[in-house]
Structure 1
Amino acid sequence: MASVANCSRRLLARPSTGLVQILPVRPRASALAAGLVIARPTPTQNTNPTSSFSTSAAAQAKTVQHVRAGKQTQVSRKKKKFAPRGRPIAPGERKAYRKRIVLSNNNALAVPGLEELAQPDATAANAGRIMALPDAVVDQLRAIEAFKPTQNLSLFRRPSLLVRSETAALAGRMQREVAQDKKTLRVVIDGERLAGKSTMLQQAMAHGFLNDFLVIHVPEGHELTTACTEYAAIPDTEPVQYVQANYTHRLLLAMLAANSELLGKFQTGHAHDQLANPVAAGSTLRDLVNAAKEPDHAWPVFQALLTELLDVETSLPRPPLVLSIDGLAHLMRISDYRNPAYERIHSHDLVLVRFLVDALGGATRFPHGAAVLAATTYGNAPSNPTMDLALAQRRAEQKADADADADADAASSSNSSRKLTPDPYFRGYDERVAAAMRTVEVLPLKGVSKTETRALLEYWAASGVLRQRVDERAVLSSWTLSGNGVVGELERSLLLSLQV
């Protein structure tokens, strides 16, 4: 206990002087270092009692930067680093991909027992059957751009079509009234969206190619009126007419590619010396079309061809015509083209559109027979109340004529047709359009029947694209869900998952 007390006593005691002497002493600066030290001014004593510090030393301690005279500061931004994205898309590549047409699929199964469409097959006896298009007809339809990118032809082994009851009736009238009686058949195919109006035109053109008709087809009506093609005024015309030389030249080339063999069978009855490339009398119609070497020569050649085809006094044989137009609403409005006064040009002042409208309205006479077919569209069409009213009036008149045997039905139909008059408070009606549509015939296109629906489902199942059992229950459910057999809705519900 005594030792512990001594230790605590030593720790609390004041350190001795000997321990302080042992600590190292801080060395002084040497004489050389003392000579190098710069003498600093001794700070003066602050006499101001309110300020206990001075800022003079801080101001002197700041380093002064030298700025060169005439130098301008530049603000630089960090440039973005672009990651490589591969090959850039070439001009027109997107449009080519969007408009490409694929007509066959080698991975699809070949349908056993599939017959090709021949000359007498598009009749009422074959209604409700699937018929394959011959390879020669496929090439002709492709040349005139009859196929649509939205059709699901790329899912099957080869292009085929369903012979609908409307198709058989239209083909029978073309063969009977046009080819034999040399009459003019003017029909507007109207129906709801995805009802198959463009496909109906395609089937009529296929029938025309099989029966030696001269087929002229306008694939898209909006290409003529939406200011996407070159145009020029024709001098000495009142009112001023406009020609679309490039489109006319392309139309002639497509017609020549599809009807080259047929045009080589007929000869010209007149000498066309006024052309840039004169054509002598007795030449073939193919030589006449070949005279359009440049777009500037297209419209005179087209007029010369019409002179040969519409000549009443000629004794030479002439083929019947099939003139088809898809997208009729674009031709029945004021176009997007402008005159020198920057006023919009009516579509009927374009000479090519004027010819198509006159042919549809009955102003042009076809002495050797013609089928002028036009299809409406509702997927890409402007609002056209005049054409809609005209089509409704034609349907009401046709219904009144069909019910003429029953007096009550005829009276009710005539009363309903009287109610279809233009709205007196609406100024958007076009008299030129109403006059062109006054005598046309309307073919209402609706959904396919249940028998035709079953034929479609069996064909899809045999091709390997429909993997389900085809029975009465499947046919009835598909027909009902597609809006009573609308072909486009039927394809959407059953084939949409297979599109890539």
Structure 2
Amino acid sequence: MSLSICTECLSRLRISSTTPKGLAVQASTLTQTTSFHSSAAQYKSPLLKKKVAQSGTASSRSRQSQSARLKKKSRERPKLPPVGERRAQRHRIVLSNTNALPVSDMETWSKENMVDEQSVGKMMALDGELLDQLRDSGAFKTTQNWGLFRRPATLIREETHQIARDIANVKQGGEKKQFVKHLVIGERASGKSVLVLQAMSMAYMDNWIVLNVPEAQAFVNNTSSYTPLRHGEDESEHVYIQPHLTQLLLTRIATSNESVLKSLRLNHTHPKALSLKNTSTLLELVQKGAGDHHLSWQAWQAFYKELTEPGQNGRPPVLVAADGIDHWMGPTAYRDSEHKILHSHQFMLVKQFINLLFSGDTSNASPFVNGGMVLYSTSGSNTPNYPTFNLVLSQMRALQLHSISPTHPNFPLPKPYSKPDPRILALSAPVTRGDLNLLDLRGLSKSESRGYLEYFAKSGLLHKRVTDGLVSEMRGLSGGGVVGELAKLGRRVIA
């Protein structure tokens, strides 16, 4: 029997359930509904807050999870201090205390009573103009007790009177210009820096020119600029200059010696870069180097030439002071172009100051026109360990304090197989001649300690009656009258 339709049409024929295919496709696109409602289901937005459940079905509020969401408070960050404010705070010098009691019977230290022997063991007040000069030259230290009293004052000790006699002898030397050299040593808090300050005070009162280096460590601790110096005299070793430190030195000289330098005329011609006239003064010369560090080294050389070479205009005596020179007796933290460590004597300014103290001239002639004094001190609290310089100091002690000659078998010599610094060992030759005075500061005497403690009692710091027994007790507790330790005991307020 022949089929009325073709085979292809039969292959398309499907035997299905009562639901046609089109309805199934259409049902999948419809929204599902439950049997209880005839409307489409609506889903809740997840952004809305959750409704509070009814009291009968929900758990108690204490059992629900709670999260403490605290608002972040904006912190007010403190403003940083200006640039240089913290350093200025560390180096700020306070010279008076309005809460301290005034001492009415205290004399003012002046040129008239400078050499008076009766002032030994007394506290002498410092004048206002003198305080400005000392502050400008950097003579005060933050570790000293200036801010405890109503008026700044200093104790006149026997070593102070000795330096006062030397200053008077230099001024009265006549045609023979005297040149005195002192090296102050001693233990920590023995008053070395204060003794240098007293010498500077007497020089200012006598109208000297004062050159002061407050911290010798600043020249060797790699905190300032340095550059090699080109010259044709000796090229076997490179030497260096420090422009910014030279500028600071000239600034201290200009501000503290202004009254003396402005009355002194030039005696020599100087480089054209300084642009000085024939009628210029030494103050104008120093201000040229203080205003520009590029001209500081040329200005320093010109100023040093004016002080050391004679001319038609006279020159006053010169005091050169430096504190902590034991830092100049060894290697520094600077390095050359080949990364080799530089020695302190390779810096021209340091070498120039060292030559003033350890001069190789046997005639002991003054390098300055009208004489002067060199007063250097070592450091007791920040002492570097340089064995060669310790050897030189021991030779000076043996020669001056114990009268041991260099030919004596007990005279200190370098140890065998040791490697002493040849630069420092060369300084022992001037030491053995005896033209360098060694001032070994120790404790105060009983009369000096009594005057020092009475000043604390009159200022309201020491609430005890100063008797011989108290003075002896304080001297025993302070290591034999060490002035720094005695000040610590005297400033304790004891009711």
- Normalising by the residue count of structure 2, what TM-score does the alignment of the two structures yield? 0.79
Query: Which residue of structure 1 lines up, in the alignment, with residue 375 of structure 2?
Result: 373
Alignment check: 8 A CA contact 1:393 1:417 kept: no
Query: Which residue of structure 1 lines up, in the alignment, with residue 247 of structure 2?
Result: 249
Aligned with 1:451 (options 447, 453, 463): 447
Alignment check: 8 A CA contact 2:456 2:490 kept: no
Cα gap change, 1:101 to 1:81, in 2 (>3 Å): same
Trace 1:26-65 onto structure 2 (pairs within 5 A).
32=35
CA distance in 2, matches of 1:360, 1:81: 65
CA distance in 2, matches of 1:416, 1:104: 54
Cα gap change, 1:216 to 1:32, in 2 (>3 Å): closer
Cα gap change, 1:233 to 1:473, in 2 (>3 Å): same
Aligned with 1:487 (options 483, 486, 490): 483
Query: Which residue of structure 2 lines up, in the alignment, with residue 87 of structure 1?
Result: 79
- Report the CA distance between 1:179 and its aligned residue: 5.2
Query: Which residue of structure 1 lines up, in the alignment, with residue 355 of structure 2?
Result: 358
Trace 1:402-421 onto structure 2 (pairs within 5 A).
415=408, 417-418=410-411, 420-421=412-413
> RMSD value over aligned CA atoms?
2.4
Asked whether 1:344 is paired with 2:341, we answer: yes
The one-character-per-residue Cα deviations of 1:339-364 (angstroms, maximum 9, x if unpaired) are 10001111111111111011111258
Cα gap change, 1:155 to 1:199, in 2 (>3 Å): same
- Report the CA distance between 1:195 and its aligned residue: 0.2
CA distance in 2, matches of 1:326, 1:171: 19
- Report the CA distance between 1:33 and its aligned residue: 5.6
The one-character-per-residue Cα deviations of 1:73-92 (angstroms, maximum 9, x if unpaired) are xxxxxxx9995452224333
Aligned with 2:286 (options 284, 289, 301): 289
- Report the CA distance between 1:204 and its aligned residue: 0.4
CA distance in 1, matches of 2:385, 2:422: 16
Identity of paired residues, percent? 34
- Report the CA distance between 1:290 and its aligned residue: 2.1
Structure 1 counterpart SS, 2:370? coil
Rg comparison, structure with higher value: 1
Cα gap change, 1:120 to 1:384, in 2 (>3 Å): farther
Cα gap change, 1:134 to 1:114, in 2 (>3 Å): same
- Report the CA distance between 1:447 and its aligned residue: 0.7
Query: Which residue of structure 2 lines up, in the alignment, with residue 327 of structure 1?
Result: 324
- Report the CA distance between 1:125 and its aligned residue: 3.0
Structure 2 counterpart SS, 1:119? coil
Whichever residue aligns with residue 432 of structure 1, its letter is R
Trace 1:28-427 onto structure 2 (pairs within 5 A).
32=35, 83-123=75-115, 124-177=117-170, 180=173, 181-236=176-231, 238=235, 239-272=237-270, 274-292=271-289, 293-312=291-310, 314-363=311-360, 365-401=367-403, 415=408, 417-418=410-411, 420-427=412-419
Whichever residue aligns with residue 217 of structure 2, its letter is H
- Report the CA distance between 1:93 and its aligned residue: 2.6
Structure 1 counterpart SS, 2:141? coil
Query: Which residue of structure 1 lines up, in the alignment, with residue 425 of structure 2?
Result: 434
Structure 1 counterpart SS, 2:183? strand
Alignment check: 8 A CA contact 1:189 1:376 kept: yes
CA distance in 2, matches of 1:82, 1:234: 57
Alignment check: 8 A CA contact 1:224 1:353 kept: yes
Alignment check: 8 A CA contact 2:462 2:492 kept: no
CA distance in 1, matches of 2:38, 2:269: 123
- Normalising by the residue count of structure 1, what TM-score does the alignment of the two structures yield? 0.78
Aligned with 1:475 (options 471, 475, 484): 471
The one-character-per-residue Cα deviations of 1:460-485 (angstroms, maximum 9, x if unpaired) are 11111211111111111001100010
Alignment check: 8 A CA contact 2:264 2:315 kept: yes
Query: Which residue of structure 2 lines up, in the alignment, with residue 21 of structure 1?
Result: none
CA distance in 2, matches of 1:32, 1:96: 88
CA distance in 2, matches of 1:149, 1:275: 41
Whichever residue aligns with residue 314 of structure 2, its letter is P
CA distance in 1, matches of 2:301, 2:282: 13
Cα gap change, 1:35 to 1:112, in 2 (>3 Å): closer
Alignment check: 8 A CA contact 1:327 1:375 kept: yes
Q: Provide the aligned length of Structure 1 versus Structure 2.
A: 412
Whichever residue aligns with residue 224 of structure 2, its letter is T
Cα gap change, 1:434 to 1:87, in 2 (>3 Å): same
Query: Which residue of structure 1 lines up, in the alignment, with residue 12 of structure 2?
Result: none
Structure 2 counterpart SS, 1:117? coil
Runs of 4+ in 1 over 6 A off after TM superposition: none
Whichever residue aligns with residue 216 of structure 2, its letter is G
Alignment check: 8 A CA contact 2:315 2:369 kept: no
The one-character-per-residue Cα deviations of 1:242-276 (angstroms, maximum 9, x if unpaired) are 1111111111111110001101222111122x142
Unaligned runs of 5+ in 2: 1-33, 40-71, 361-365
The one-character-per-residue Cα deviations of 1:47-88 (angstroms, maximum 9, x if unpaired) are xxxxxxxxxxxxxxxxxxxxxxxxxxxxxxxxx999545222
Instruction: Name whichever of 200-209 and 432-441 sits farther off.
Output: 432-441
- Report the CA distance between 1:331 and its aligned residue: 1.0
Structure 1 counterpart SS, 2:78? coil
Whichever residue aligns with residue 341 of structure 1, its letter is E
Cα gap change, 1:360 to 1:82, in 2 (>3 Å): farther
Whichever residue aligns with residue 464 of structure 2, its letter is Q
Alignment check: 8 A CA contact 1:220 1:325 kept: yes
Query: Which residue of structure 1 lines up, in the alignment, with residue 31 of structure 2?
Result: none
Alignment check: 8 A CA contact 1:216 1:324 kept: yes
Unaligned runs of 5+ in 1: 1-30, 37-79, 402-409
Point out the structure with the larger helix share: 1
Query: Which residue of structure 1 lines up, in the alignment, with residue 65 of structure 2?
Result: none
